[in-house]
Amino acid sequence: MGPVTRAVFASRNPGKLRELRDLLPDWEIEPIGDIEMPEEVGATFFENALAKARFALTLDPTRWVFGEDSGLEVDGLGGAPGIRSARYAGDAATDEENVSLLLSELDGVEGEGRRARYVSELVAIGPEGVELRGTGRVEGKIARERRGTDGFGYDPVFVPSGESRTVAELGNAWKRENSHRAAATQALLAQVGERALEL
């Protein structure tokens, strides 16, 4: 199989697209475009990521496709917001609204209750039908207030384990090496290597 350079990412999230392009510089990755995505009905991040990738493949079976689902799990909230991370404060919620609700729900919660993790499931499907999966997790805790300006989503309130700053303070260079999406991408590329596919 020749070098893979073109792919479709089944997402209209500009932050995720930017990060995936940074993580896979040898790929020419395009967004899915102005197409209504199917409703996320999976019970897990992986189920939703797989469904997105399979949907994109029906639109263009000649190129590789990527599907990704990710979010935040907070111990003190029973794992919420989880798969509803992007819609935590409502289906049309902004990042600001989601973070505000999260901080409100954690008001008064101390210690272990503020433990959290970022989770990313990344699925790639090739024109020949091979399905590859990468999973990434970053453990941490939820800060008491927003700090930092880089990133998106819950980055201003997520402090990775071993760090004192939020992801939004650590910045995009840190994310390229250490984020849950970076870990998922590396895990997926390891699967590519195991299958002896040439990138």
> What number of other Cβ atoms are within 10 A of residue 45's Cβ?
23
Res 127: pLDDT = 84
What type of residue is 150?
A: D
Pairing mode, if any, of strands 131-142 and 158-160?
Answer: antiparallel
pLDDT for residue 130:
87
> Would you state the pLDDT for residue 3?
56
- The per-residue pLDDT for 5 is 64
Domain range holding 162?
6-194
pLDDT of residue 158: 98
Q: What is the pLDDT of residues 111-154, one digit of tens each?
A: 999 999 999 999 999 888 889 999 999 999 999 999 999 999 99
Annotated catalytic residue 69: yes
The pLDDT score that the predictor gives to residue 198 is 44
Residue 1 covered by a domain? no
- Tell me if 75 is assigned to some domain: yes
Shortest CA distance to 141 belongs to which of 174, 171, 98, 111?
Answer: 111
What per-residue confidence (pLDDT) applies to 195? 54
Q: Among 22, 69, 107, 155, which one carries the catalytic annotation?
A: 69
pLDDT along the chain (199 residues), means of 10: 71 91 91 85 95 93 93 98 96 96 97 98 90 96 97 97 98 94 93 54
Name the domain count of the chain. 1
CATH number at residue 91: 3.90.950.10
